[in-house]
């Protein structure tokens, strides 16, 4: 990679971090609590006054549910007006939740507002004990198996053919309560 291109990639880390933090509705302190990176360091990275170490970048990416590649991938010179994803070329989407494998079926983050994935959910897997809450919307369409989704004080038990659409600014969580794997199309609207 030419030095000028490398410099562009490094210079894009701060703005990408700030944009993603804003999209998730997180203050510097909230992101600090999630990532174990000081608010001052996060601010310096966002302002371009500090190049993060790989450890810092890994912590921030993990806290924001993004792969490290999100921060260092070069942008295409022209926007993609259509993205074709062959079934065998679905990219893995990083998630901090265990027991769920996400494979992307939508275009790249930054160019599109909707993120979609095929989700394979292991028996007994869940989003954890702590409810999730962030800006946006999610739509889950079940392909096979069973998934329970709680939103605020409502719970639905979904099987193949069922769907649930909800705003993620309400507390929510999910779990596969069975001993069989589940598969779903999972769609998230990224706030603009």
Enter the pTM of the model.
0.64
Query: Average pLDDT in the 90-111 region?
Result: 82
Task: Give pLDDT, residue 182.
Answer: 98
- In the predicted structure, residue 109 carries a pLDDT above the cut 80: no
Matching CATH number, 3-72, of 1.10.260.40, 1.10.540.10, 1.25.10.10, 2.60.120.1570: 1.10.260.40
Given a contact cutoff of 8 angstroms between Cβ atoms, the answer to whether 54 and 65 are in contact is no
Q: CB 183: neighbour CB atoms within 10 A?
A: 15
Question: What is the C-alpha separation between 174 and 188, in angstroms, rounded?
Answer: 14
Task: Give pLDDT, residue 116.
Answer: 92
How many whole angstroms from its chain centre is CA 4? Answer: 29
Residue 9 phi/psi, 5-degree rounding, is -65, -45
Question: What is the C-alpha separation between 107 and 90, in angstroms, rounded?
Answer: 11
Question: What is the C-alpha separation between 133 and 45, in angstroms, rounded?
Answer: 25
End-to-end CA distance of the chain: 32
Topology classification of domain 87-189: Jelly Rolls (2.60.120)
User: Per residue in 38-95, pLDDT tens?
Assistant: 999 999 999 888 899 999 999 998 888 888 888 887 554 445 678 888 888 888 877 7
| Domain limits, the chain | 3-72, 87-189
- In the predicted structure, residue 21 carries a pLDDT above the cut 80: yes
Mean pLDDT computed over every residue of the chain:
87
Query: Average pLDDT in the 123-143 region?
Result: 93
Dig out the tokens for 98 from the structure: 């265990």
Query: Average pLDDT in the 129-134 region?
Result: 89
Dig out the tokens for 165 from the structure: 């659409």
């Amino acid at each position: 990679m030419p030095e000028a291109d490398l410099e562009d990639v490094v210079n894009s880390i701060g703005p990408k971090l700030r944009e993603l933090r804003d999209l998730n509705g997180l203050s510097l302190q909230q992101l600090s609590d999630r990532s174990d990176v000081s608010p001052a360091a996060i601010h310096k990275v966002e302002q371009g006054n500090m190049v993060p170490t790989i450890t810092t970048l890994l912590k921030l990416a993990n806290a924001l549910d993004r792969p490290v590649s999100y921060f260092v991938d070069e942008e295409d010179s022209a926007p993609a007006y259509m993205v074709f994803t062959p079934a065998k070329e679905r990219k893995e989407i990083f998630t901090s939740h265990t027991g769920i494998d996400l494979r992307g079926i939508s275009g790249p983050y930054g160019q599109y507002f909707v993120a979609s994935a095929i989700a394979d959910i292991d028996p007994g897997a869940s989003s954890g004990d702590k409810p999730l809450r962030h800006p946006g919307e999610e739509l889950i369409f079940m392909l096979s198996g069973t998934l329970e989704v709680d939103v605020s004080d409502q719970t639905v038990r979904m099987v193949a053919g069922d769907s649930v659409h909800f705003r993620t600014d309400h507390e929510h969580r999910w779990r596969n309560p069975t001993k069989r794997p589940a598969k779903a199309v999972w769609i998230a609207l990224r706030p603009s």
